[in-house]
Amino acid sequence: MNVLICGGAGYIGSHMAQYLAEAGHVVTVLDNLSTGHHEAVRWGELLEVNLLDAEGLERVLQGRRFDAVMHFAARSLVGESVSHPYSYYSNNVTGTLNLLEAMRRADVERIVFSSTAAIFGNPQSDVIDEAHPKAPINPYGASKLMAERFLADAAQAYGLRSVALRYFNAAGALPGHGIGEAHACETHLIPNVLRAALGQGPSLKIFGNDYDTADGTCVRDYVHVQDLARAHALALEFMDRNEGAHTFNLGNGQGFSVHDVIATAASVAGVAIPYEVAPRRAGDPARLVASSAKAREQLGWQPRWTELAPIIESAWHWHRDQPSWSPHHRQTGHPTQAA
């Protein structure tokens, strides 16, 4: 297939490009490089354009034929979305609408959309399936839920086939391919723990150790980025057989606490990892774990990276041997946080 990957210079998008290219598909990356990295575009042509530039988007798609689009391009920092909601609605809502309109004019009838567990808001059950109430508590989650609504409406109005994949916590890397999680402002737990192991940045913080969990720290579901890439490829096959708009939750199905992550990372890195306990952050639920039963049954997807240690080890090799283009290699000094 000929696949356009929007946001293909970013963390998950670059892993997706690698996966599809090595499976024999033709890959084209569309990215404005605002948070992505030109050096991560190693598979396929790069089209440098902003999704907010509707005319530029339509111009670069003219004369090209794509069988499907994968849409990863978005702003994705929860805290930042609360402080700057207009920016998030502009990028994630208007940008997605521009992309869908350009696809319609170019007769591209399939899209796999990168969604998020943030659409659910505060969990009402320990394990979250697709039927869980959708009540996002921040603009980031709200913007992704609105984009899912676009896809449902487009299926009815235009016959667009779509799959929205709701990630829980993407993690890991493919260090042998030179790609990994390289954010200028890092808020994810595993990379921040590994930065602490490398002595980069300020002290690591655990936000709350008095939750109703086994060790008092928050529990999260970590799914390897390569498993996510495989789910997207399976979604392409799924759309061959199924019309309409479909949604799937993607997670490991297991919960690991903040203390679990720190202890496992210390074992992998072979060093003690210092941290300090800080007060809870508003809006952090005690436990977020996905039910991926629907993805197993309908997509035929099963995560292969099921243990925490190999996931962290893959990320450790990436962070330890970061290329010069990685912002953490340059030690930007952004605050280190753990959720």
Phi and psi (nearest 5°) for 240? -65, -30
Taking only the tens place, the pLDDT of each residue in 26-45 is 999 999 888 777 777 888 89
pLDDT at 259: 95
- Better pLDDT: 335 or 326: 326
pTM attached to this predicted model: 0.89
- Better pLDDT: 146 or 203: 146
Taking only the tens place, the pLDDT of each residue in 167-200 is 988 999 887 777 777 655 556 789 889 888 988 8
Taking only the tens place, the pLDDT of each residue in 131-172 is 999 999 889 999 999 999 999 999 999 999 999 999 988 999
pLDDT class for 59, splitting at 50, 70, 90?
A: confident
Q: Are 272 and 266 in contact (CB under 8 A)?
A: yes
The residues spanned by each domain of the chain are 2-171+223-250, 175-221+253-288+305-320
Rounded to 10 degrees, the C-alpha dihedral 204/208/209/212 comes to -140
The catalytic residue positions are 140
pLDDT at 337: 29
pLDDT at 334: 30
pLDDT class for 326, splitting at 50, 70, 90?
A: low
Taking only the tens place, the pLDDT of each residue in 79-121 is 788 889 999 999 999 999 999 999 999 999 999 999 999 999 8
**Distance from C-alpha of 101 to C-alpha of 143, rounded to nearest angstrom:** 17
* DSSP per-residue string spanning 16-55: HHHHHHHTT-EEEEEE--SSS-GGG--SSEEEE--TT-HH
Range in 15-19, 85-89, 187-191, 326-330 the model is least confident about: 326-330
Mean pLDDT of 318-324: 73
- Say yes or no to pLDDT of 219 above 50: yes
pLDDT at 83: 87
Taking only the tens place, the pLDDT of each residue in 265-306 is 999 999 999 999 999 877 678 888 999 999 999 999 999 999
Mean pLDDT of the chain: 88
pLDDT class for 336, splitting at 50, 70, 90?
A: very low
Mean pLDDT of 253-276: 93
State the DSSP H helix or E strand holding residue 88, giving kind and residue range, or none if neither: helix 85-88
pLDDT at 286: 85
Range in 211-220, 291-300, 320-329 the model is least confident about: 320-329
**Distance from C-alpha of 102 to C-alpha of 189, rounded to nearest angstrom:** 36
Range in 204-213, 312-321, 326-335 the model is least confident about: 326-335
Residue 134 in tokens: 């959708």
Mean pLDDT of 49-66: 90
pLDDT class for 327, splitting at 50, 70, 90?
A: low
**Burial (CB count <10 Å: 0-12, 13-18, 19+), residue 332:** middle
pLDDT at 285: 80
Mean pLDDT of 313-329: 72
pLDDT class for 11, splitting at 50, 70, 90?
A: confident
Q: What is the CATH code of the structural domain delimited by 175-221+253-288+305-320?
A: 3.90.25.10
Q: What is the CATH code of the structural domain delimited by 2-171+223-250?
A: 3.40.50.720
